[in-house]
Chain A
Amino acid sequence: MKSSFNFIGLPVAALVAPSAFAVQYLSVDQAQQAIFPGKKFTAAPVKLTSTQKKAIEQKSRVRVLKDEQQVWRVSNGGWFVIDEVVGKHDFITYAVGLNADGSVKQIEVMVYRETYGYEIRNDVWRAQFVGKNANSTFKLDHDIKNISGATLSCRHITDGVKRLVAFYEVALR
């Protein structure tokens, strides 16, 4: 088997740690048009009272961390809400379109950012993870657009959407 390995080593000193993975998918305008194409939007931000926060938490079983929620009224009677969730590994801004009856129309991720874990002192093979083989070329890249690796769960968004559906019941309906 050993003969089929084919990579080229590089000294550690030549490498700089790449930055954390982040993607900006949509601006506010773009997210609005992606979920409600051609509609008009009127800003209608909501500041929650402590009673409303408790009511939302009871309905959704998800903690409400912020008092303020960015909301737009849509010309067709629906609602457009921007929200953020923070996980152990990630920080996500996303938009939810609600139909006039409060049901979820569409969810779009606007910004996805991964946070650093911990520093690695002796990352042996980072230095050697540069090379070639028959079908794939390896190289270091500081501007990574896509990343492969075990799944990061979307549980935080799922919880966030549950919270927003309860938010609709308590504050918008």
Chain B
Amino acid sequence: MKSHCVELRRARPLLGTIVDIQARAPNDFTAIRAVEDAFDAVERVHRLMSFHDPASDVSRLNRDAHKQSVKIDKWTWEVLHVAHKFADESNGAFDITVGRLLTLWNFLPRLNAGHPERMRGTSRTTNRVITCEVPRFAQDDRPSWHDIILEKGRSVRFHRPLTIDLGGIAKGFAVDCAINALKNANARAGLVNAGGDLRVFGLHEEAVGIRSPLDPNRPAGTITLRNRAIATSAIYFSRKKSGGKTRSALINGQTQQPFIDNVSVTVAADDCMTADALTKIVFVLRDLVGPILIHHAADAVILERDSPPRWFSP
């Protein structure tokens, strides 16, 4: 922390959450420029990867990629590549095709009219019964990340109709892009927090509170970071009843079942996309996650009711 640096902190609603960006720079002009550039980067990720925007790469893929190859932006391409790598490494524990279940359970809207993979159910907002086929898949024949083909020239094709959602990884990616923007604009230090996916850079240490899974408005403790990213996954804000069952927006890609326990997983890694994706993998693999964490030089802590924090620290 240099005394002649100015500090700037701003927050805007983006990526379905509140994105907080902080910069330290030698003067006001540099600080404002850096923060603006960082928000521009987050807005770009938002435009490309939003599930809600019909013009986003994600919507275009969900609508058309099972019919023809769809060319996408290089940022979306990068995220899909990393998602593919994590799905492979975790044997499908991390799987972006769980978007299908998120729409089925009303965590995401049903946008793509004409999509052959629509479902029967009662719309929460209108109470109208949506009459479409509920696809039932045999265990060995359900849609998964294996059905996504990354072709040459940033083109993507699906083997079958899929609903992908990048909610488990795009926020981390957006944080990394924003950090790069701060650095490129000559900020000395900075912090980007997209709804709990957070990364810091610079010489100083930053203390970050971790929400208590039992009472998420209170921190259970703080973790101190320097030039590192952190992400926490838990279901405390997403758990709800759907179709008579308790569901959450956090899904085990291997079993296709939602997590419904009051558990939180926090992962620290060098970049935020890695931390973001790894939280979902730790959720599924729990005690077996060691080798994957070691591979990514990441560490994790699991918080749950009635037991002490469990550290996984390669």
Contact = CB atoms under 8 A, between A and B. Distances in A.
A157 B13 CA distance: 7
Contact of B309 (A26, A112, A125, A151): A125
**Is chain A's interface secondary structure helix, strand, loop, or mixed overall?**
loop
Contacts of A116: 215, 217-218
B308 A1 contact: no
A50 interface: no
Given A112-B11, A150-B232, A150-B264, A144 B195 contact: no
A20 B217 contact: yes
B223 interface: yes
Place the interface of chain A in its size category. 35 or more
B224 A154 contact: no
A6 B310 CA distance: 9
Contacts, number: 205
A136 interface: yes
A100 interface: no
Interface stretch (A38-46, A74-82, A126-134, A164-172): A126-134
A148 interface: yes
Contact of B237 (A92, A146, A150): A150
Given A124-B308, A154-B18, A138 B221 contact: yes
A128 B308 CA distance: 6
Contacts of A109: 10-13, 18
Interface stretch (B66-74, B89-97, B298-306): B298-306
Contact of A5 (B206, B210, B214, B310): B310
**Is chain B's interface secondary structure helix, strand, loop, or mixed overall?**
strand
Interface string B140-156: 00000000000000000
Interface residues of B, number: 64
B233 A152 contact: no
Contacts of B216: 89, 117, 149-150
B232 A149 contact: yes
B314 A4 contact: yes
B158 interface: no
A118 B212 CA distance: 12
Interface in B179-208: 191, 193, 195-198, 206-208
B268 interface: yes
Contact of A138 (B214, B222, B233, B237): B222
Interface of A: 1, 4-7, 9, 17-18, 20-21, 23, 25-26, 34, 89, 92, 94, 106-109, 112, 114-120, 123-126, 128-131, 133-141, 144-155, 157-158, 161
Given A94-B13, A140-B222, 13 more contacts: A18-B209, A26-B10, A135-B299, A138-B224, A139-B221, A144-B209, A148-B196, A148-B230, A149-B234, A149-B236, A150-B232, A150-B236, A151-B237
19 contacts: A4-B312, A23-B20, A89-B237, A94-B13, A123-B214, A123-B215, A125-B307, A128-B308, A129-B210, A131-B309, A134-B299, A134-B313, A136-B228, A146-B208, A148-B230, A148-B231, A149-B210, A154-B13, A155-B16
